[in-house]
């Protein structure tokens, strides 16, 4: 994929998020920002973390909202599907299936979510990837990094083709997708 096309796809993702945010209340935007920052820092965003972060940013309190309301807002965001992005990534899935996998993957819907629980420890890379694939559906974690999300989509699509293992067959499929221009990095 050429840089300008990747930039275009990333811009379409950020545009969808911006439109969604523009229709939200200020408290929802603040909670969403805190959740995404926590995810980008490599963690989770439990409601108590969100409340504490809001207290740190707004020591005089959040007008018209109590801690319980903020906690409920955080829980709602974390458990909900990011539907506008799900629709967009489902379109990407259909396009990428043809472009990088020769149309060989089954019809699937991509569901973008804020909170994608990790499997119990000890966990392997295969366990983490397998949690993102279900019958007719790919679960994609919203992390605020469009280029990473596109790469994760292609990665999960490759798993649809070869199963949860990260072996030679998976590596060859990813290398082929990369050669065809998919937005992935190939290690080897």
* H helices present in 58-167, as ranges: 67-79, 83-101, 125-130, 146-162
Q: Domain range spanning residue 161?
A: 83-179
Are residue 133 and residue 166 in the same domain, yes or no? Answer: yes
Are residue 23 and residue 71 in the same domain, yes or no? Answer: yes
Through-space distance between the first and last CA atoms of the chain, rounded to whole angstroms: 19
pLDDT in tens, the chain (188 residues): 788 888 999 999 999 999 999 999 888 888 899 888 888 887 777 778 888 888 787 777 666 667 777 788 888 888 889 999 999 999 999 999 999 999 999 999 999 988 765 545 555 566 556 566 777 889 888 889 999 999 999 999 999 888 888 889 999 999 999 999 998 876 65
Residue 188 lies in a domain: no
How many domains is the chain partitioned into structurally? 2
Are residue 98 and residue 130 in the same domain, yes or no? Answer: yes
User: 47-57 vs 67-79: helix axis angle to the nearest 10?
Assistant: 130
In degrees to the nearest 10, what's the CA dihedral of 85, 87, 89, 93? Answer: 170
Q: Which pLDDT score is estimated for 40? A: 86
Q: Length of the chain, please?
A: 188
Q: Which pLDDT score is estimated for 131? A: 63
Residue where a domain stops, chosen among 54, 79, 104: 79
Which contacts qualify for 61-67: CB closer than 8 Å, 24 or more apart?
Answer: 62/27, 62/30, 65/27
Are residue 60 and residue 87 in the same domain, yes or no? Answer: no
Residue 186 lies in a domain: no
Q: Which pLDDT score is estimated for 12? A: 95
Are residue 71 and residue 149 in the same domain, yes or no? Answer: no
Cβ 119 vs Cβ 131: under 8 Å: yes
Are residue 115 and residue 170 in the same domain, yes or no? Answer: yes
Are residue 155 and residue 90 in the same domain, yes or no? Answer: yes
In degrees to the nearest 10, what's the CA dihedral of 172, 187, 38, 12? Answer: -60
Measured CA to CA, the distance from residue 106 to residue 130 in angstroms comes to: 16
Residue 59 lies in a domain: yes
Residue 187 lies in a domain: no
Residue where a domain stops, chosen among 51, 79, 107: 79
Residue where a domain stops, chosen among 62, 79, 96: 79
Q: State how beta strands 137-141 and 109-113 pair.
A: parallel
Residue 148 lies in a domain: yes
Are residue 123 and residue 159 in the same domain, yes or no? Answer: yes
Are residue 38 and residue 121 in the same domain, yes or no? Answer: no
pTM score, two decimals? 0.85
Residue 97 lies in a domain: yes
Residue 140 lies in a domain: yes
Residue 124 lies in a domain: yes
- Reduced to 3 states (helix: H, G, I; strand: E, B; else coil), residue 185 is coil
Kind and range of the H or E element at 4?
A: helix 3-22
């Amino acid at each position: 994929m050429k840089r300008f096309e990747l930039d275009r796809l990333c811009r379409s993702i950020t545009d969808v998020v911006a439109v969604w945010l523009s229709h939200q209340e200020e408290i929802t935007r603040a909670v969403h920002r805190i959740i995404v920052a926590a995810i980008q820092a490599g963690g989770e965003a439990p409601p108590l973390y969100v409340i504490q972060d809001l207290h740190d940013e707004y020591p005089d309190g959040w007008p018209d909202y109590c801690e319980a309301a903020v906690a409920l807002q955080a829980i709602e965001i974390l458990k909900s599907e990011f539907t506008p992005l799900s629709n967009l990534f489902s379109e990407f899935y259909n396009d990428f299936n043809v472009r990088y996998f020769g149309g060989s993957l089954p019809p699937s819907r991509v569901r973008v979510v804020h909170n994608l629980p990790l499997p119990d420890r000890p966990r392997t890379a295969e366990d983490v990837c397998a949690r993102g694939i279900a019958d007719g559906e790919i679960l994609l974690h919203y992390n605020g990094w469009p280029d990473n999300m596109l790469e994760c989509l292609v990665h999960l699509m490759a798993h649809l083709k070869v199963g949860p293992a990260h072996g030679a067959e998976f590596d060859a499929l990813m290398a082929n997708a990369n050669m065809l221009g998919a937005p992935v990095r190939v290690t080897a």
